[in-house]
Amino acid sequence: MCRPKENDKSYIELKEAKYNSRKILGKERAIEKEHFYHQLEQKSSNKTFFKLINRNLGREHLNTPVVQHENKEIRCPDEQKEVLAKYYEQLATPQISSFEDEILAAIQNLNSGKAGDEYGLFAEHLKLAGTEITPVLKLVFNKIIKERRTPEHFKTGIIIPVCKKGKDSSLLDSYRGITVSSILGKTFEHALLNKIINKLENHSFQQFGFSQGLSPSMAALLISEAQMNS
């Protein structure tokens, strides 16, 4: 059967009808999506996010025919698996780096005028040592991270009983235990925390995990919507 000519009246009307139909359907989808987003903003929950994600997962998923790696195109599925496995293995491996600035900041944030730990160390000892001791602590702390073993003396402390205000001092229940933990342990924890915070604050705008005000559910929403609109 021959295709109707462009100037055929019935053919032109059919094309216009199809165009108008697609236009109306697109408008309806846009209205429905906007309504759904409004509900999402007003009553956001994990259930709502997953509902949207599951709705978009109805489309067919295709494996990529090629993976770019080190300026090479990897087409073999087995080679692609190997490249991806190595990539995620590197992401999961802690990268040891110098963090003397974080250690020095942790030392300066230690509370002065407090009791010493069970080894006789005070915050003032580290503060007065300043930059002279940070290279040594850097070596120790990096070794702890590399070996993934926390020293036992970081986990112990001195428990000092303090009587609660207005309580009878002759009763054991009137006391609460205050633990004076290791000064070096505190320094390590604060230095590591500072380094983690710096990493998280300087992350990509596409980072959603461990980010204030964001969540992996939001990332799943964006990925799902991008896939649906692609």
Number of domains in the chain: 2
- At 71-88, the pLDDT tens digits run 888 888 888 888 877 777
Residue 187's domain comprises 100-201
Same domain, 86 and 176: no
Q: What is the mean pLDDT of the chain?
A: 79
Domain end call among 52, 74, 93:
93
Whether 216 is in a domain gets the answer no
Percentage above 90 pLDDT, the chain: 18
Whether 131 is in a domain gets the answer yes
C-alpha–C-alpha distance, residues 95 and 4, integer Å: 67
- At 131-149, the pLDDT tens digits run 899 999 999 998 998 888 9
Per-residue confidence band for 124, with pLDDT thresholds at 50, 70 and 90: very high
Same domain, 150 and 169: yes
Q: Indicate yes or no: pTM above 0.95.
A: no
Per-residue confidence band for 186, with pLDDT thresholds at 50, 70 and 90: very high
Whether 153 is in a domain gets the answer yes
pLDDT of residue 112 exceeding 70: yes
Determine the pLDDT at residue 4. Answer: 56
Same domain, 114 and 186: yes
Whether 51 is in a domain gets the answer no
In 10 A of CB 158, how many CB atoms?
A: 15
Measured on CA atoms in the order 199, 155, 92, 46, is the torsion positive or negative?
negative
